[in-house]
Structure 1
Amino acid sequence: MSSDTLSDVLHAVRLTGAVFFDVEAHAPWSEASPAGSVIAPQALPSVQHVIAFHVVTEGRCWVATAGLAPVALEAGDIVVFPQGDAHTLYSEAGPAHPVPLDTFARARRSQLPLPVHIGTQGMERTHLVCGYLGCDVRPFNPLIATLPRILHVRDRAGATHGWLSQFISVALAESREKRPGGESVLSRLSELMFIEVVRRHVEAMSPQHTGWLAGLRDEFVGRALAVMHREPARNWSLEELALAAGRSRSAFAERFAELVGQPPMQYLAHWRMQVAAGLLARGAKVSSVALEVGYDSEAAFSRAFKKLAGTSPGAWRLRGGEASTAVRSDAPASNHSLPLAASA
């Protein structure tokens, strides 16, 4: 797998950790987390897409989302919802009917992590650190599109990959001690945690998997992705990309489309627009961005950008990228799509 290519995408989509809750629950309990499209206007209005994650630091619980089997979680587990699905966490006794709380709205004007207490002291206890990451999905985010609806990672003490265990320990300490700068520490830790979870997902993928990550891991397609990301402005031909990949033109084109889900030249055009979006959001002039991503004509670049992003490069630049597209969640919402809710 080309780690540089993955880093390119993670940088381009502006992954950022922002909202955290320190949840102490006593059975029986349930906690409902709404879809990312519901969370963002309340707590993260400047992001396009919200990824939820939960770290179980003590006890056990279940997590359920519409259309998928419930997943049992224990201390040391991390569960991530890359597509922004609504979901419910609950004690083993079964979920009670959630009661809405104005938690996300309060998170914008409170010191984080925000404490949430559920249930009656003395009963079976579960402790969670719940976080919400923001990222861009438009014009083009090949990573989020290829991830499953739920990622579940177990990191027991003494496991081969002990890094996440350290993350859990530090996250727990920061959430409880509320030291100066703790919110920033949790934010950076969350970004690193997400990257590590994605890495483990890639390592665990079977040879039958398809999607952008499968292409990244493939010996031949991965080479082509690497050169496209390294030189997005170059006037690549299909023959040149096939040569870089080490395959014939037809074999390369077939393999790329099979794994990535779109032809190589279409992928290159989309990636150029994502690079352009980042440059525009930082205030670069439209004419210079057009040249930066391989367009001799500003008009041609503007047409291509608007077709993919849904807005003109100038409008994207003025808004810093944030208001160029509505926050979205492609996954279906569950029946528990309420603002973070708790019930005894």
Structure 2
Amino acid sequence: MRRDPLSEILEMIDARTVYAGGFIGGGNWAIRFPPPEKIKFFAIARGRCLLLVEGIDEQFRLGTGDVFLLTKNVAFTVASDLSMQPLPAAEVFANADTTIISVGEGDDFLFLGAHLDTDQAGGRLMIESLPDALHLPAGENDAGRLRTLVTELVQEAASRAPGAEIACASLAQLLMIQILRRHLSGGAQVEAGWLRAACDPRLVPALSLMHANPAHAWTLPELARASAMSRTAFATYFKSVAGMPPLTYLTEWRMRQADRALKKPGSSVARVAQAVGYGSEAAFSTAFKRVMGRSPRRDRRIGADPTL
């Protein structure tokens, strides 16, 4: 069965969601978190809070079931009252012996957090395709699936039942995918790029062909036919959604697949070049260096010795 392009892209960049735990708040409290360095997202499982992100003037008001995604590498403060002096998160969580701790007095608020791990190139791709900050309110018409996942995550996090750790990680992964779906369904309001193209129903047939057989010498007419468009209409539409022409996308997809293959022990530049459609090792090396910014032989050395 042919796989969908978004799943293939997330696999290509080694996207893994890590559930980090959270905290229960009550009374008056404020916590300042350091720059996350990775794409971070969190859900408000119970209650309300205010959120202030460094470099963004807007104060976000979050309520039960809301989900927030942060791609910008900046500090942020979560609080019941932003006029309070916030406690550093490192201090709050320093001696935590559980994944969910208590802050303040009471339990009217529950915050659950996670982050997205990717390889270095994948992290850049995600950040380029997503806004600095994204607030998905629970009250929107299509938020039902998010609410369900948040509820299930709360239940698993609180249960401490056998397998709860894996269940929380799996639910966090589903939550991240649902966040991407919700955001990328915005069409023209979404930044052009890989992720938007992967969720565009008009382009999925052409992307599926390129992803399934990158070694094939795909032509613009072939790809246009797959998407039921004329050659000119397809080329124009593809660039407006993906941010690059179709055959440029094909080259980048080939090089990213080659990048993964070269890092595997026992790989060879010649075999990888052939697998992604290049009969000449020299032509492949030139294309690889242009797209990835380094020699394919360097990737192969990293695969042979990961400490390099």
TM-score range, shorter chain: 0.7 to 0.9
Q: Does 1:28 align with 2:28?
A: yes
Aligned to 1:163: 145
Q: Counterparts of 2:239 and 2:39 in 1: how far apart (Å)? A: 27
Say whether 1:73 aligns with 2:56: no
Counterpart AA for 2:12 = A
| 103, 111, 135: which one aligns with 1:118 | 103
Greater displacement, 141-150 / 315-324: 315-324
Q: Deviations over 1:224-248 (max 9, x none)?
A: 3232222222112333333333333
- C-alpha change, 1:72 and 1:253, in structure 2 (3 Å) is same
- Give the Å deviation of 1:266: 1.6
**Of 43, 49, 57, the match for 1:55:** 43
Structure 2 CA distance for partners of 1:102 and 1:295, relative to 1, 3 Å: farther
Corresponding letter in the other structure for 1:67: I
Matching residue's letter, 1:117:
S
Unaligned runs of 5+ in 1: 38-49, 326-344
Checking the alignment, whether the CA contact within 8 Å between 2:46 and 2:110 is kept in structure 1 is: yes
What is the aligned partner in structure 1 of residue 4 from structure 2?
Answer: 4
Secondary structure of the corresponding residue to residue 179 of structure 1: coil
**Which residue pairs with 1:278 in the alignment?**
260
Q: Secondary structure at the residue paired with 1:138?
A: helix
In 2, are the aligned partners of 1:139 and 1:273 still within 8 Å (CA)? no
Whole-Å Cα distance in 1 between the matches of residues 123 and 87 of structure 2? 36
Q: Any conservation in 2 of the 1:139–1:270 contact (CA below 8 Å)?
A: no
1:101 aligns with 2:101: no
Distance 1:322 1:139 in 2: 21
Aligned to 1:240: 222
Choose the corresponding residue for 2:292, options 301, 309, 327.
309
1:274-315 Cα deviation digits (max 9, x unpaired): 222232344351332222211222343334334433444344
Following the alignment from structure 1 to structure 2, what is the Cα–Cα distance between the partners of residues 155 and 322? 47
Q: Which amino acid aligns with 1:291?
A: Q
Q: Does 1:211 align with 2:192?
A: yes
Root mean square deviation, CA, Å: 3.5
CA distance in 2, matches of 1:314, 1:282: 12
Contact kept, 8 Å, 1:27 with 1:93, in 2: the verdict is no
Which is further off, 266-275 or 80-89? Answer: 80-89
Number of matched pairs? 304
CA distance in 2, matches of 1:315, 1:102: 41
Distance 1:17 1:24 in 2: 22
Where in structure 2 are there 5+ consecutive unaligned residues?
none
CA distance in structure 2 between the aligned counterparts of 1:115 and 1:85, rounded to whole angstroms:
23
- Deviation string 1:212-234 (CA, Å, 9 cap, x unpaired) is 34434545444332322222221
How far off its partner does 1:206 sit?
4.7
1:296 alignment partner, one of 267, 275, 279? 279
The 3 A distance-change label for structure 1 pair 197 and 241 is same
SS at match of 1:266: helix
Which residue identity is paired with 1:278?
R
Task: Say yes or no: does 1:127 pair with 2:116.
Answer: no
Query: What residue in structure 2 maps to residue 15 of structure 1?
Result: 15
TM-score by length of 2: 0.82
* Partner Cα separation in structure 2 for residue 130 and residue 321 of structure 1: 36
| 3-state SS of paired residue (1:101) | helix
Q: Residue 198 in 1 paired to residue 180 in 2?
A: yes
Matched, 1:228 2:210: yes
Deviation of 1:26 after TM superposition, in Å, equals 2.8
Distance change (3 Å), C-alpha of 1:85 and 1:10: farther
* Structure 2 contact 33–89 (Cα < 8 Å) conserved: no
Question: How many Å apart are 1:128 and its aligned residue?
Answer: 0.8
Distance, in Å, in 1 between the alignment partners of 2:172 and 2:90 is: 24
Larger relative contact order (Cα-Cα within 8 Å, sequence gap ≥ 6): 1
Cα contact 1:280–1:289 (8 A) shared by 2: yes
Give, in whole Å, the separation in 1 of the partners of 2:134 and 2:12.
22
Deviations 1:119-154 (A, max 9, x none): 3x24x7321111122113516965542222223223
1:57–1:129 CA contact under 8 A, matched in 2:
yes
Matched position secondary structure for 2:121: coil
Are the structure 2 counterparts of residues 222 and 25 from structure 1 closer, same or farther at C-alpha, using a change threshold of 3 Å? same
